[in-house]
């Protein structure tokens, strides 16, 4: 799957795929509409068959984006946004289905699969994918346009990740409906719970959809680019179990999990490990009180690499550091290691890359 024509939306504390509305010469919105036109070209196999100079409906596109952003949709709680979107797609004439992903992952809604039937025999069945959920906070969002850039006017994020992928995908379909340009079946795959681990996509029965190829609309700049490879991503959760003791009376009787974790981290290679390998521990929690020798500490981290061999070596190194530190201090160690997703690389000879 390739990511196409990345454009950015800028907002407070957020860097998000698919709309950069900074002014480019005459119009701040040029890149937005060019993005939708590029999607149309992809869906018509780059035939450039635009009829009668038909244009993207600018007002509708911007309204669609802002409406989507205004609906609060944190991971596992996307119901309101999904109901709104399903109603819109149904009114457009698409065949709309919601799967049972919500039940499988503990959310209140499932993935949406919406199909615009093709009007030209022999063309491929192409999908466009984006996700409903956003990171928080987005509740109570107020949106403003300042000098051609959409921003939040409140203390929330904008939520353009990935409403900025959904909006152009929907508008591209609406454009094709109105223009009559030739296309095969177009399948919109709008998933849930992406931000917490691709959970909706992970339970999507994509094989049953009989797709030829498609594009995930969720990446970064520059405009006109696409991503044809990604790294394997591993998640780590490591808990050090020490021994509690009163820190003011009998500290020597305790084992500080904080000290154990600190020793493990101090001996660990983190950050940029190689040209395409990175590692990080980004969350730490533990302890019961300032007067208690810390009995537990949990570290949450990750490692990524386009080389599975290099990734496995890095994870082994990280776990070895944890094991050796726990052994030295007499602490116990609990480890959860999950392969979040595996790498892929699309050849330049693949159809989806060629027409991109």
Q: Which residues are known catalytic residues?
A: 133, 194
Q: Is the dihedral of CA 285, 288, 290, 293 positive or negative?
A: negative
DSSP single-letter state for residue 43: H
Burial of 87 (0-12, 13-18, 19+ CB in 10 A): exposed
Q: Is the CB of residue 41 less than 8 Å from the CB of residue 29?
A: no
Q: Is the CB of residue 162 less than 8 Å from the CB of residue 82?
A: no
Could you tell me which of 17, 8, 38 has the C-alpha nearest to residue 195?
17
The long-range contacts involving 259-263, CB below 8 angstroms and separated by at least 24 positions, are 259/294, 259/329, 260/297, 260/325, 260/326, 260/328, 260/329, 260/331, 261/286, 261/297, 261/299, 261/325, 263/325, 263/328, 263/329
Give the whole-angstrom CA distance, residue 78 versus residue 51: 37
Tokens encoding 37: 């036109």
Block residue for tokens 């450039």: 48
162, 164, 169, 171 alpha-carbon torsion, rounded to 10°: 140
Tokens encoding 181: 């340009």
Q: What distances in angstroms separate CA 92 from CA 38, 64, 139, 169, 321, one per listed residue?
A: 21, 13, 28, 13, 56
CB atoms within 10 A of CB 233: 19
């Amino acid at each position: 799957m390739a990511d196409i024509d990345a454009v950015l939306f800028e907002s407070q504390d957020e860097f998000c795929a698919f709309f950069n509305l900074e002014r480019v010469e005459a119009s701040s919105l040029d890149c937005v509409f060019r993005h939708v036109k590029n999607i149309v070209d992809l869906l018509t196999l780059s035939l450039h068959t635009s009829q009668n100079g038909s244009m993207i409906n600018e007002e509708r596109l911007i309204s669609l984006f802002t409406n989507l952003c205004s609906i609060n949709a944190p991971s596992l709680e996307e119901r309101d946004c999904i109901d709104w979107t399903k109603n819109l797609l149904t009114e457009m004439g698409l065949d709309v289905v919601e799967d049972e992903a919500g039940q499988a992952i503990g959310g209140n809604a499932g993935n949406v699969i919406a199909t615009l039937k093709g009007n030209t025999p022999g063309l491929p069945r192409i999908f466009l994918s984006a996700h409903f959920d956003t990171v928080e906070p987005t509740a109570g969002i107020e949106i403003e346009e300042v000098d051609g850039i959409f921003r939040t006017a409140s203390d929330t994020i904008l939520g353009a990740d990935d409403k900025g992928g959904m909006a152009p995908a929907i508008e591209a379909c609406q454009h094709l409906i109105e223009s009559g340009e030739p296309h095969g079946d177009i399948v919109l795959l709008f998933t849930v719970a992406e931000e917490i681990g691709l959970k909706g996509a992970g339970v999507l029965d994509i094989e049953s959809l009989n797709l030829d190829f498609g594009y995930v609309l969720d990446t970064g700049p520059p405009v006109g680019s696409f991503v044809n490879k990604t790294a394997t991503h591993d998640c780590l959760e490591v808990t050090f179990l020490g021994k509690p003791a009163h820190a003011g009376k009998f500290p020597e009787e305790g084992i500080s999990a904080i000290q154990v974790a600190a020793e493990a981290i101090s001996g660990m290679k983190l950050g940029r490990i190689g040209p395409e390998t990175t590692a990080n521990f980004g969350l730490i929690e533990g302890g019961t009180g300032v007067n208690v020798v810390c009995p537990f500490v949990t570290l949450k981290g990750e490692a990524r690499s386009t080389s599975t061999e290099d990734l496995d070596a890095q994870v082994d190194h990280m776990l070895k550091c944890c094991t050796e530190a726990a052994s030295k201090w007499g602490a116990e160690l609990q480890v959860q290691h999950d392969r979040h997703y595996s790498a892929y690389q699309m050849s330049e000879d693949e159809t989806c890359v060629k027409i991109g």
